[in-house]
Structure 1
Amino acid sequence: MDESVVERSYWALLGVMASSAIFNHVFQKRGISHQRLFFFSHQSSPYRRNPLRSTRRFTQPPPSLGFR
């Protein structure tokens, strides 16, 4: 009884790790390229130094940038 529980938890942990690794691998290319492009486009803006505004920047861009 104990060994089955341990084995089940081990396989569950393994599955979670594998799924997270696959998730990271799938979304890494898009995320990294988008972040890099974003970082270089906003490098000179004052919003880069404020961590609170930088997290909100993805949903609501600052009015000084506009859409180019």
Structure 2
Amino acid sequence: MAMLRQVYNLMFKRTSTFALSIVLGTIFFEMVFDQAGDAVFEHINWGKLWKCIKHNYENNEEE
């Protein structure tokens, strides 16, 4: 209970800190969601991505 009161006093008591916590939480959530989506996409499509097949299409300097 004391911890909830401390969180309330630090973040939610004033409108400015409440708005700042919403903005920072949104930015953090967007970054995590974007990285998780990219990881799932790469896992599903592994072997079909450019970074996996790039060596098949690059011209070798020796040839």
TM-score interval for Structure 1 and Structure 2 normalised by the shorter chain: 0.5 to 0.7
Q: Which has the higher helix share?
A: 2
1:5 Cα deviation from its structure 2 partner: 0.5
1:22 to 22, 33, 36: 36
1:6 aligns with 2:23: no
Unaligned 5+ residue runs, structure 2? Answer: 1-14
1:44: which partner in 2?
59
> What stretches of structure 1 move > 6 A for 4+ residues in a row?
none
1:33 aligns with 2:38: no
Q: Secondary structure at the match of 1:33?
A: coil
1:26 Cα deviation from its structure 2 partner: 0.8
- CA distance, structure 2, for counterparts of residue 19 and residue 11 of structure 1: 12
What TM-score does the superposition give when structure 2 sets the normalisation length?
0.54
Cα root mean square deviation, aligned: 1.9
What TM-score does the superposition give when structure 1 sets the normalisation length?
0.50
- CA distance, structure 1, for counterparts of residue 58 and residue 21 of structure 2: 50
Determine which structure has more spread, i.e. the larger CA radius of gyration.
2
Percent identity of paired positions between Structure 1 and Structure 2: 7
Q: Between Structure 1 and Structure 2, how many residues are aligned?
A: 43
